[in-house]
């Protein structure tokens, strides 16, 4: 069964046994987003992304148009890129039993790749990109002051 951080019951994924192999009977847009990244993502993030795109997170992924699915994925990548770089590992243990929930560390190169991928999706779908704004500043030099801070004219010094 997929390991969603406290979100499995929310997404409504129903697994059936078919001769020992699990078969997914429904695959929601939330499941699609969880499967788009190899990290534990809080369910609130998935719900917010779907809400921002006016999509019910229980909607079957195949019923969501491909551009909308891609834009949701891009939003998730941006969330990953703008979020924390390091998440610690959680370990639970009791009387010889232990379970760990993996942490991760993202480098600046990882975050740049997430943004680059998200921006490609945004450009493909005609939306504005993240972090690509550049300003060009042209200097015309320093203009000499003719008036002092007290409002009085400054004396002119001839060369």
pLDDT in tens, 8-26: 444 455 555 555 666 656 8
Q: Does 136 fall in a domain?
A: no
Q: Does 73 fall in a domain?
A: yes
Q: Does 150 fall in a domain?
A: no
Task: Please count the structural domains in the chain.
Answer: 1
pLDDT digits (tens, 9 = 90+) for 46-105: 999 999 999 999 999 999 999 999 999 999 999 999 887 766 666 666 766 766 666 667
Q: Whole-model pTM?
A: 0.62
Domain that holds residue 49: 8-89+97-124
Q: Does 143 fall in a domain?
A: no
**43: pLDDT strictly greater than 60:** yes
Q: Does 107 fall in a domain?
A: yes
Please state, as a whole number, how many other Cβ atoms lie within 10 Å of the Cβ of residue 60.
13
């Amino acid at each position: 069964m997929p390991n969603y951080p406290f979100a499995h019951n929310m997404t409504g994924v129903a697994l059936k046994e078919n001769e020992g192999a699990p078969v997914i009977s429904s695959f929601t847009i939330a499941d699609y987003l969880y499967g788009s990244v190899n990290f534990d993502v809080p369910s609130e993030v998935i719900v917010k992304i779907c809400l921002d795109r006016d999509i019910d997170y229980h909607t079957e992924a195949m019923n969501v148009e491909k551009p909308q699915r891609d834009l949701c994925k891009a939003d998730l990548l941006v969330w990953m890129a703008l979020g924390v770089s390091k998440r610690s590992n959680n370990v639970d243990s009791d009387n010889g039993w232990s379970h760990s929930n993996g942490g991760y560390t993202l480098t600046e190169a990882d975050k740049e790749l997430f943004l680059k991928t998200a921006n490609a999706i945004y450009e493909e779908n005609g939306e504005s990109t993240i972090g690509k704004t550049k300003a060009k500043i042209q200097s015309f030099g320093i203009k000499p002051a003719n008036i002092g801070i007290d409002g009085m004219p400054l004396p002119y010094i001839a060369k």
